[in-house]
Amino acid sequence: MNTPHLRPKIAVVGAGWAGLSAAISLARRADVTVFEAGRQAGGRARTLVGNADGFSFLDNGQHILLGAYHGVLTLMEHIGVDPEATFCRLPLQWHMYEGLQFQSTNLPSPLHILTGILRAKNISFSLKIRLLSDMGALQRYARGKRADLAVAQWLRQRNVPRRLVAEFWQPLVWGALNTPLEHASLRILCNVLSDGVWADKPGSDYLLPKRDLGAIIAEPALAKLKQFGADIRLETRVGRLKNFPDGRIVVNDEAFDAVIVATAPYHAVHLFPEDTPDYIQTTYQNLRYHSITTVYLRYAVPIHLPAPLTGFADGTAQWLVYRGALGLPINEVASVISVSDYVGAFKSQEWAEKVHADVKRICPYLDEPEAVRVITEKRATTACTPDSSPPDFAWLHQRRIYLAGDYLHPHYPATLEAAVQSGLMAAERCLADFGLI
Give per-residue pLDDT as tens, 126-180.
999 999 999 999 999 988 888 999 999 999 999 999 999 999 999 999 999 999 9
Residues in the chain: 437
Q: Going by C-beta distance under 8 Å and a sequence separation of 6 or more, which residues neighbour residue 420?
A: 17, 18, 21, 69, 71, 72, 75
Q: Going by C-beta distance under 8 Å and a sequence separation of 6 or more, which residues neighbour residue 435?
A: none
Beta strands, E only, 160-281:
206-209, 231-233, 242-243, 249-251, 254-256, 258-261
User: Does an H or E element contain 17, and which?
Assistant: helix 17-27
Q: Going by C-beta distance under 8 Å and a sequence separation of 6 or more, which residues neighbour residue 304?
A: 362, 363
Burial of 213 from C-beta contacts in 10 A (0-12 / 13-18 / 19+): buried
3-state secondary structure of 23: helix
Measured CA distances, 187 to 113, 116, 201, 390 (Å): 20, 24, 22, 15
pLDDT of residue 90: 95
Beta bridge partners of 332: 298
pLDDT of residue 4: 46
Q: DSSP letters along 322-340, please?
A: EGGGGTS-TTEEEEEEETH
Below-70 pLDDT ranges, the chain? 1-5
Average pLDDT over the chain, rounded to an integer: 95
**Cα distance between residue 405 and residue 413, in whole Å:** 11
pLDDT of residue 53: 85
Beta bridge partners of 96: 311
**Cα distance between residue 431 and residue 12, in whole Å:** 13
Helices (DSSP H) in 79-150: which residue ranges? 83-86, 111-118, 125-143
The amino acid that residue 320 corresponds to is L
DSSP tag of 146: P
CB atoms within 10 A of CB 136: 12
pLDDT of residue 49: 80
Candidates 346, 358, 351; CA nearest to 303 is: 358
In degrees and rounded to multiples of 5, residue 332 shows phi and psi of -115, 145
